[in-house]
Amino acid sequence: MSSATSPLVAFGQKHVTKGLGRLTEAVMTKGEGSYVSFEDGRRMLDFSCGIGVVNLGHCHPKVSKAAADQCMNLVHSQCSIAFHGPYLHLIERLLPVMPHPSLDSFFFWSSGSEAIEASLKMARTITGRQNIISMQGGYHGRTFGAMAVTKSKTVYSEGFAPLMPGVFSTPFPYWHQYGVPPATNEDELVQKSLYQLELVLKQQTAPSDTAAILIEPVIGEGGYVPAPAAYLKGLREICDQHGILLIIDEVQTGYGRTGKFFNIEYSGVRPDILVIAKGLANGLPLSGVISRQELTDKLKPGSMGGTYAGNAVSCAAAVAVADVFKEEKVLDNVQARSQELFDSLTSLQQSADVSSAIVDVRGQGLMVAVEFASPLYSANDPALNPSVPKNMASRVAKRCMEKGLLILTTSIYEVIRFIPPLNISQADLAKGCGIFADAVREVLREG
């Protein structure tokens, strides 16, 4: 039975809100490691990981067993009623891997958006200030406060104004945002970006009114662009100078995705508040907001909470995730597979038949992007190229799916993102890279 004729698909198309979009009109029935299966019989290699969530692959046996076992003991112990063991055991696992020893106070919630909301509440009440500065191109979620600080695409906030007040944005050190060539020196981008931030603090929100600066160390929906260490250090200096809190959003970059437990480790910068989610519990809903006790001691009991916050089953799964990372040397696999992925994509970029179409290969670990040129860009955009086919990213992603590979686009630009499982095998990574290369060449030939 094809997806188009499936009664279940037709039922979903009729009754699931039109506010949701989908990559494919199909019903996913099973996930196993690096593969997913559909009702129509297709089995596909998954380079989307549920958008960076099932970092240990689908249905990792140890994680699934931990969740199942917990279901037979205690499913729900509301955080405002009592402690529960998995919550506390998860803190035990996380403390040793925190990117800075000052991060010792934990609050677990259910989703990344909720955790961002909590971080904004904390920043405002701790500092007594209202305003938040976020990055142009940043993505932080679709709930009301998170939507206000999201600046990656207008679709997330279009029609929902007025948004939460007190939000200002500043350019991220990404060549597109300055209209300069992809090969522009990193130091120049950092200098421009720090200068623009200084202007924001002089012209739009005074430091004494500014509670926090919020940043993803690799912007996700903005195009999978790593923030240079010098920029992050510059932010830290500005925050220290003015008593502003630095919120590091590691919802997508965290938990091994970029080759370290947390991406901020590459720069050595200390977060005031760290936000995590996605891969934390490998598919069960769980997020975390982590700060230091001297800050969180300023919060009033009852100001944080949530019915499902820090759910026992999700926390038990997250404890198992932490154990698997250590037992299976997952970070070692990320480093090895990352080198192979970059080698494959760089080789493709340098091929004579492809080189004019690919303008950038970037990322860290197994959070990697390929950006194509486009004939539809602004005349001021350095990636404008009239000879390249239109809509390369979406067409390549669709062709990959036809060939058995799930892969996603991202950003307002022509970007495809690679988010394979962190424990993916060498063979499956090579298989996916081969499918991608074939798809790129086919779309280029079609024009």
82-93 residue pLDDT tens: 999 999 999 999
Residues of the chain with CATH 3.40.640.10: 74-327
Task: Give percent of the chain with pLDDT exceeding 90.
Answer: 97
Please tell me the distance from the alpha carbon of residue 409 to that of residue 392, in angstroms, as a whole number.
10
Q: pLDDT tens for residues 143-177?
A: 999 999 999 999 999 999 999 999 999 999 999 99
pLDDT band at 274 (very low <50, low <70, confident <90, very high): very high
pLDDT band at 125 (very low <50, low <70, confident <90, very high): very high
Cα angle at 76 between 70 and 81, to 5 degrees? 130
Supply the DSSP string of 285-307, one letter for each residue. --EEEEE-HHHHTTSPTTSS--T
pLDDT band at 3 (very low <50, low <70, confident <90, very high): low
Q: pLDDT tens for residues 48-82?
A: 999 999 999 999 999 999 999 999 999 999 999 99
Give the mean pLDDT of the chain. Answer: 96
Please tell me the distance from the alpha carbon of residue 367 to that of residue 262, in angstroms, as a whole number.
12
Asked whether the beta carbons of 6 and 27 are under 8 A apart, the reply is: yes
Residues 6+ apart with CB under 8 A from 98: 104, 262, 274, 290
- pLDDT of 191 strictly over 80: yes
CA dihedral (419, 153, 230, 123) positive or negative: negative
Both tokens assigned to 224: 């999978």
Query: Homologous superfamily of 3-59+329-446 in CATH?
Result: Aspartate Aminotransferase, domain 1 (3.90.1150.10)
Please tell me the distance from the alpha carbon of residue 383 to that of residue 373, in angstroms, as a whole number.
5
Q: pLDDT tens for residues 337-359?
A: 999 999 999 999 999 999 999 99
Using CA atoms, how far residue 395 sits from 140, 185, 272, 388, 408, in Å, is: 27, 31, 41, 12, 11
Residues of the chain with CATH 3.90.1150.10: 3-59+329-446
Is 3.40.718.10 the CATH number for 74-327?
no
- For residue 21, the model assigns a pLDDT of 87
Both tokens assigned to 258: 């970029």
Between 249 and 24, where is the model more confident? 249
Backbone dihedral angles phi then psi of residue 165, each to the nearest 5 degrees:
-75, 170
Cα angle at 208 between 206 and 209, to 5 degrees? 70
Backbone dihedral angles phi then psi of residue 291, each to the nearest 5 degrees:
-140, -160
- Residue 244 CB-half CA count within 13 A: 27
The mean pLDDT of 100-119, rounded to a whole number, is 97
**Beta pairing, strands 287-291 & 273-276:** antiparallel
Would you say how long the chain is, in residues?
447
310-323 burial, b if ≥16 CB within 10 A, otherwise e?
Answer: bbbbbbbbbbbbbe
Query: Against a cut of 0.75, is the pTM above it?
Result: yes
